[in-house]
Amino acid sequence: MYGITGYSNGYHQNQQQHSSEEKRGGGRRRRGGRRSRHPPGFRVSDHHHYHYNNDDDDNKQEQKAPLPCTDFDMAYFHSYAHVGIHEEMIKDRVRTDTYRAAIMEHQSFIEGKVVMDVGCGTGILSIFCAQAGAKRVYAVDASDIALQANEVVKANNLAEKIIVLHGRVEDVEIDEEVDVIISEWMGYMLLYESMLGSVITARDRWLKHGGLILPSNATLYMAPITHPDRYNDSIEFWRNVYGIDMSAMLQLAKQCAFEEPCVETITGENVLTWPHVVKHVDCYTIQHDELESVSTRYKFQSMMRAPLHGFAFWFDVEFNGPTNSPTNNHIPSLLTGASNNNHIDGIQKKKRANPNEALVLSTAPEDPPTHWQQTLIYFYDPIEVEQDQVIEGSLTLSQSKENRRFMNIHLEYSSGGRSYVKESVMR
Ligand SMILES: C[S@@+](CC[C@H](N)C(=O)[O-])C[C@H]1O[C@@H](n2cnc3c(N)ncnc32)[C@H](O)[C@@H]1O
């Protein structure tokens, strides 16, 4: 995940997170979020040159020229050369165990087949695929972490099976199609980091007809939240500081704490209603232009009387086989019911009760925490809502024109007869 770059909004939710950030140089870090002043050189491994076979294009979607690699992209890839980011992701057992389980669950599809790992990082998913019996794995990463992946692969005697390509998926070439694409591409609020576009590019360049994509689909949710502790801790605190009235600090405190989205862990108790589906992504069919801007209208009815402090966002991804997609039997998790509040009687779908259901990696507040946590957009001032009070409005998430890794967030909301607009940027 790519993040609020070297930036801290001053709020550290828990000490553990705080100290691990400090170990890596201080400031709130997000996956992929550190900027480089000296972007690295950029090359495909010298010893593996593959040529994309353009004769075989007939059953592929029409391919556009790849997006140029900008300085922002270089900085993004450079941020992934840092060991800390990979350590954090790999130590996220919910994430890594679910990927491994998904690979083993699709072993019959992977065995003897050709796999591409889009954004291999340290190579962990490629190695899982080799362990599942893949004939060959192309492990592609544009970051210098690919050099480490290559060493890891050699040290595990997998160099015959796993071919590490150091370069962008948009630029590398291989001379065969692949049966399986695996990728861990999800950023905060699912779409932040804009890595899904690279999975689409890989799919359109190399995936065989009927091939498998893991994960197969993803869903971004939003819900209104109440979080008095957080508000008191960052804002109300200034009203009485060692007996001194520091209310003069309130405006600045609100601006500094809540101007940008915050990545924090909340629980189901903070959530005021069933969630709304902001975007459903089918990895087999999604197109690049769908990702440039995502808009939705929402309407909630608060389940309780509470101060409304903002909205939470989270996502889940499913690992379905190709036959289940695009018409997968998506049943969301407890807080997931409801794009349109059609909740599912409290049925919680995480790791599925029924083995025929897809494996799910959930980052919902009621599920075990992950390194993605949840993303919160706080209001500067809470709104007191009554039970059943309507909260409605619209949301647009768009890739920043300046740097498509960043996300512009335009939020309109109204409740109790008053309307508000909040613009923020996730950078
Ligand atoms: C979230 S990390 C996942 C790493 C690894 N697959 C894992 O699960 O631990 C994403 C990786 O994708 C790489 N990446 C992102 N976009 C890419 C692209 N267009 N081409 C090649 N690598 C890319 C990043 O450099 C980063 O190492």
CATH of the domain at 35: 3.40.50.150
For the ranges 48-62, 83-97, 148-162, the lowest mean pLDDT is seen at: 48-62
Choice between 343 and 85, residue whose per-residue pLDDT is larger: 85
Choice between 35 and 121, residue whose per-residue pLDDT is larger: 121
pLDDT band at 352 (very low <50, low <70, confident <90, very high): low
Q: Please choose, from the candidates 51, 95, 294, 327, the residue with its C-alpha nearest in 3D space to the C-alpha of residue 189.
A: 294
54: CA distance to ligand 1 center in Å?
25
| 6 inside domain | no
Residues 37, 172 within the same domain: yes
Mean pLDDT, to the nearest integer, of 91-117?
Answer: 98
Choice between 184 and 8, residue whose per-residue pLDDT is larger: 184
- Do 284 and 322 form a contact (C-beta atoms < 8 A)? yes
Number of domains in the chain: 2
pLDDT band at 355 (very low <50, low <70, confident <90, very high): low
Pairing of strands 162-166, 136-141: parallel
Residues 268, 335 within the same domain: yes
Choice between 141 and 337, residue whose per-residue pLDDT is larger: 141
| 145 inside domain | yes
Q: What is the CATH number of the domain that holds 235?
A: 2.70.160.11
Mean pLDDT, to the nearest integer, of 113-128?
Answer: 98
Query: Which tens digits make up the pLDDT trace of 49-61?
Result: 333 333 444 445 4
Residues 293, 325 within the same domain: yes
**pLDDT of 381 over the 60 cut:** yes
How many whole angstroms separate alpha carbon 369 and alpha carbon 350? 12
Atom of ligand 1 nearest to the CA of 119: 12
Q: Which residue has the tokens 């300085």?
A: 71
Pairing of strands 306-319, 374-385: antiparallel
Structural domain for 162, as ranges = 29-214
**pLDDT of 28 over the 60 cut:** no
User: Dihedrals φ, ψ of 310, to 5°?
Assistant: 160, -155
Mean pLDDT, to the nearest integer, of 293-299?
Answer: 98
Looking at 214, 241, 274, the residue that finishes a domain is 214
Residues 6+ apart with CB under 8 A from 320: 215, 216, 217, 328, 358
Mean pLDDT, to the nearest integer, of 289-301?
Answer: 97
How many whole angstroms separate alpha carbon 208 and alpha carbon 376? 39
Looking at 198, 214, 230, the residue that finishes a domain is 214
121: CA distance to ligand 1 center in Å?
5
Residues 363, 245 within the same domain: yes
> Which residues' Cβ are closer than 6 Å to ligand 1?
77, 80, 86, 89-90, 119-122, 124-125, 140-143, 145, 168-170, 184, 195, 198
Amino acid letter at 328?
A: N
For the ranges 25-39, 189-203, 311-325, the lowest mean pLDDT is seen at: 25-39
Mean pLDDT, to the nearest integer, of 103-129?
Answer: 98
Residues 185, 329 within the same domain: no
For the ranges 97-106, 126-135, 197-206, 349-358, the lowest mean pLDDT is seen at: 349-358
Atom of ligand 1 nearest to the CA of 117: 6
Residues 273, 312 within the same domain: yes
What's the longest Cα–Cα distance across the chain? 77
**pLDDT of 334 over the 70 cut:** no
- pLDDT value, residue 185: 98
Amino acid letter at 317?
A: V
Residues 6+ apart with CB under 8 A from 378: 227, 230, 231, 257, 258, 262, 309, 310
Residues 144, 260 within the same domain: no
424: CA distance to ligand 1 center in Å?
26
Residues 188, 289 within the same domain: no
| 251 inside domain | yes
Q: Which residue has the tokens 């889940």?
A: 316
How many whole angstroms separate alpha carbon 262 and alpha carbon 265? 10
141: CA distance to ligand 1 center in Å?
6
- Do 140 and 167 form a contact (C-beta atoms < 8 A)? yes
Distances (CA, A) of 401 to 2, 264, 301, 404: 17, 26, 35, 6
- pLDDT value, residue 321: 81
| 5 inside domain | no
- pLDDT value, residue 315: 98
pLDDT band at 340 (very low <50, low <70, confident <90, very high): very low
Average pLDDT, the chain: 84
Burial per residue of 100-125, b for 16 or more beta-carbon CB atoms within 10 angstroms, e otherwise: bebbebbeebbeebbbbbbbbbbbbb
143: CA distance to ligand 1 center in Å?
8
Atom of ligand 1 nearest to the CA of 168: 20
Q: Please choose, from the candidates 216, 233, 155, the residue with its C-alpha nearest in 3D space to the C-alpha of residue 359.
A: 216
For the ranges 6-20, 73-87, 100-114, 149-163, the lowest mean pLDDT is seen at: 6-20
Residues 189, 80 within the same domain: yes
**pLDDT of 262 over the 50 cut:** yes
Atom of ligand 1 nearest to the CA of 167: 21
Amino acid letter at 52?
A: Y
Residues 6+ apart with CB under 8 A from 5: 30, 33, 34, 35, 427
| 274 inside domain | yes
Helix axes 93-105, 124-131, angle to 10 degrees: 30
Distances (CA, A) of 356 to 105, 162, 272, 328: 11, 30, 31, 12
Atom 23, ligand 1: residue with shortest CA distance: 119
Mean pLDDT, to the nearest integer, of 341-345?
Answer: 32
Atom of ligand 1 nearest to the CA of 31: 1
Mean pLDDT, to the nearest integer, of 395-405?
Answer: 95
Looking at 214, 243, 259, the residue that finishes a domain is 214
How many whole angstroms separate alpha carbon 94 and alpha carbon 351? 10
Choice between 198 and 7, residue whose per-residue pLDDT is larger: 198
Residues 243, 173 within the same domain: no
82: CA distance to ligand 1 center in Å?
12
How many whole angstroms separate alpha carbon 167 and alpha carbon 169? 6
- pLDDT value, residue 347: 29
| 52 inside domain | yes
Residues 309, 278 within the same domain: yes
The catalytic residues are 184, 193
Q: Which of 36, 80, 89 to mutate to test the pocket of ligand 1 (most atoms within 8 A of CB)?
A: 80
**pLDDT of 292 over the 90 cut:** yes
**pLDDT of 337 over the 60 cut:** no
Residues 51, 119 within the same domain: yes
pLDDT band at 66 (very low <50, low <70, confident <90, very high): confident
- pLDDT value, residue 317: 98
How many whole angstroms separate alpha carbon 140 and alpha carbon 119? 5
Q: Please choose, from the candidates 144, 150, 126, 136, the residue with its C-alpha nearest in 3D space to the C-alpha of residue 82.
A: 144
Choice between 35 and 69, residue whose per-residue pLDDT is larger: 69
Q: Which of 97, 100, 184 to mutate to test the pocket of ligand 1 (most atoms within 8 A of CB)?
A: 184
Q: Which two tokens stand for residue 167?
A: 């370069």
